[in-house]
Amino acid sequence: MRIDVVSIFPEYLAPLELSLIGKARQDGLLDLHVHDLRDFTTDKHRSVDDTPYGGGAGMVMKAEPWAQALASLTEARRDGVARPVLIVPSPAGERFTQALAYELAEEDQLVFACGRYEGIDERVIEWAEDHFTVRPMSLGDYVLNGGEVAVLAMVEAIGRLLPGVVGNPDSLVEESHSDGLLEYPVYTKPASWRERDVPAVLLSGNHGKIAQWRRHEQYRRTAERRPDLLETFDAGKLPRADRTF
C-alpha cells in the first residue's frame, strides 16, 4: 500500500517513522510519503490560507495549493491501479471505526489531507471527486486543531492490519472491536499481587472454560461500558449470561 499525507506541519507525522509503522516502512510493507503543502504555493510568503467569504473568525485554507498538491499524487499512479482514496480528517466526517480500518487496508493508495484553521475551501473537496474517492473522516465528537493527530491514529490502525506488519496475526483477532465486542481483561505473573489474585479459571489449564470465561468477560465489559455496541452485535454469538466460572 502507498500512503501520502499532505500537511503544513510535516514534522507532526514524524512518529510514523517509529515502532511498528516505521519498521513496516523499512521492510517495504508500507510506502508512506509526507508532503509539505507549502511546497505547492507560488507566492514568496508561501501562503496557504485567507479570510473566509461571508465573514467569521479564523482563516480558510486556499484551494489552489491543495489542488496542486493532490494532483501531484494522482500522477504517480500506475495505469490500471484503483482510484486513490482521499481521506480528509474532519469533525464533520463519517466515523472512523475498526471496520473502516479493515476496509481501507484493502486499498492501493490512501491520501490524507490534513486541514487546519477553519478548514479547507469546500471547492477542493468538490474538485477532488473527479480524481479520488473522497471520504471526510472523524475520529469522534470532539474538536482538534488540525487533521495530523487524526492521521497518526488512522495510519496506525490501518497500517497494523497490512500483511506482515504485526508479528503474530492471531493477535489481531482478539482485540477490542475485532468481533464487535470489547476485549477481555488480561493478566500476567505474579498469580497473586497486593492481595489480588488472577481469576482461578485462567490457571486451570482448561482451555474450553478459559475461552468461555473470556467471551463472557467481553460481553460483560461491552454491556457495562459500550451498550451501544451491543445493539449491532449479533445476539447469536452471545455467551449464556447465567454461566458461572
Ligand X SMILES: Nc1ccccc1-c1cnco1
**Applying CB under 6 A, which residues contact ligand X?**
89-91, 115, 138-140, 142-144, 146-147, 150
Residue 143 in grid coordinates: 474538536
Residue 145: CB minimum distance to ligand X, A: 7
Nearer to ligand X, 6 or 165 (CB): 6
Residue 88: CB minimum distance to ligand X, A: 8
Residue 57: CB minimum distance to ligand X, A: 15
Nearer to ligand X, 89 or 219 (CB): 89
Residue 18 in grid coordinates: 517509529
Reference 165, options 3, 7, 13; nearest CA is 3
Residue 109 in grid coordinates: 493508495
Q: Which residues pair with 133 in a beta bridge?
A: 85
**Do strands 192-193 and 196-197 pair parallel, antiparallel, or not at all (unpaired)?**
antiparallel
Q: What one-character DSSP code corresponds to residue 58? A: S
Nearer to ligand X, 36 or 179 (CB): 36
Contact present, 183 and 207 (Cβ < 8 Å): no
Nearer to ligand X, 10 or 91 (CB): 91
First and final CA of the chain: distance in angstroms?
45
Nearer to ligand X, 24 or 60 (CB): 60
d(CA 90, CA 109): 20
Q: Which amino acid is at 186?
A: V
Residue 62: CB minimum distance to ligand X, A: 16
Which ranges in 52-200 belong to alpha helices (H)?
A: 63-74, 98-104, 122-128, 148-159
Nearer to ligand X, 122 or 197 (CB): 122
- Report how far apart, in Å, the C-alpha atoms of 28 and of each of 43, 53, 81, 85, 155 are: 36, 45, 19, 21, 15
Residue 120: CB minimum distance to ligand X, A: 9
